Structure 1
Amino acid sequence: MKNESLPPEYFEEIYAKSDDPWGFASREYELHKYLDTLMHLPRPHYRAAFEPGCSIGVLSGMLAARVDNLLSVDVSTKALEKARYRNGDKANIDFQHMQFPSQVPTGTFDLVLLSEVAYYWGDEEFDRARDEVMKMLEPGGDLVLVHWTPFVEDYPLTGDEVHERFIRFSQQNDSLRHLESNRETTYRLDVFRKLNR
């Protein structure tokens, strides 16, 4: 039996109960993870980045200093309201309501960041998201994955399953190279690069 993706209603219900349900803006863990993510970006600056599942835009605001243009999307309208307010002074971030991967942005990117989002996808949607990422990622572009690793009953996949699937894909597909792995106590980070092939 295949896992099913979590629906948009799941997230709207969570944000209806709290403006910051995961403590993105307040927890020391989150700040450490965000700084670690930025430290592991292979390049100092990018032309265009795509961040699905941006939530209230805490990481978006930090990432904005490293990119010319950042497209940050989420399925929750309430989260996007908070993200836009938080980052009102950053003209290079475009926050859009989008359910990736059933909806995909136009254009290409030299950085795609999947942070705390890919374990919400069921098997079919995960494969579709992976394929869409490969289409939108420019040759020489970077893919960065960061996910919580402890088991969460609601989530179709674990963080480890997400990362291992991308690693297996890179081993079977010579257009994606696995550059780096970093594991902390409760999250892991993996970096990939799309090759010029």
Structure 2
Amino acid sequence: MRRSSLPRKDTLDHLTRLYQASDDPWDHRTSTYEAGKYAATLSALGPGPFREVLEIGCGNGTFAGQLAPRCTRLTVMDCIPGAIGSARRALAPLAQVTVIEGAAPQDLPRLRPDLVVLSEVLYFLTPDEIAELGRWLRDHATGPVIAVNWTGPTDEPLDGASAVALLARVLGPGATDLHDGFRIDRFDPSG
């Protein structure tokens, strides 16, 4: 992996500190909010099976563990070493899962995924990075792109709605499903 400059240094430092303090800084394993978000996301993407799936920003791997049974091959990535370590431990029993360390868009693997999941990751990117990611998705994704975003304020320059709007500039309009505290946008860049 080449050395990543993304996300911004202050964001990277903040996320690194969170994962140094806990392997589950947002209570992905126990939160009612997270459980509801995961159920809604799994419903939005459909039952599968999916041949080649990419999850960008996998965190500690909690959602990937639920997604994996629908996948022939699931590649998950994150740029935070603590998150990657937790994801590798959590997903080790699942032979169809590959965990890679890297940041989107510059470290994206050479795949032609028939499903891409971006859960609460877009607002950590800059507008230029979202545009580059969108171009990669347009050129490589052969199936839907599911973008899940918190609808409240973030500590980042972008919030979920503005980050999704930037992605839609490249991928075209998506179908939006609003929930309590989050939104799910489904794009079909492959036409």
TM-score normalised by L of structure 1: 0.86
Match in the other structure for 2:136 = 132
Q: Which residue, out of 83, 90, 94, partners 2:87?
A: 83
Q: Is the 8 A contact 1:75 1:98 kept in 2?
A: yes
Q: Deviations over 1:17-36 (max 9, x none)?
A: 22211111110100110011
Aligned: 1:97 with 2:101:
yes
Aligned: 1:155 with 2:149:
no
Match in the other structure for 1:36 = 40
Question: For 2:179 and 2:108, how far apart are their aligned partners in 1?
Answer: 31
TM-score normalised by L of structure 2: 0.89
Aligned: 1:13 with 2:17:
yes
Letter in 2 for 1:52: I
* Offset, 1:13: 1.5
Identical counterparts, % of pairs: 28
Aligned: 1:60 with 2:64:
yes
Structure (1/2) with the larger strand percentage: 1
Structure 1, unpaired ranges of 5+: 172-176
Question: For 1:44 and 1:69, how far apart are their aligned partners in 2?
Answer: 12
Q: Which runs of at least 4 in structure 1 moved beyond 6 Å after TM superposition? A: none
Structure 2, unpaired ranges of 5+: 1-5
Give the length in aligned residue pairs: 184
Residue aligned with 2:153, SS: coil
Residue aligned with 1:94, SS: strand
Q: CA RMSD of the aligned region, Å?
A: 1.7
CA separation of 1:163 and 1:116: change in aligned 2, threshold 3 A: same
Question: For 1:73 and 1:170, how far apart are their aligned partners in 2?
Answer: 21
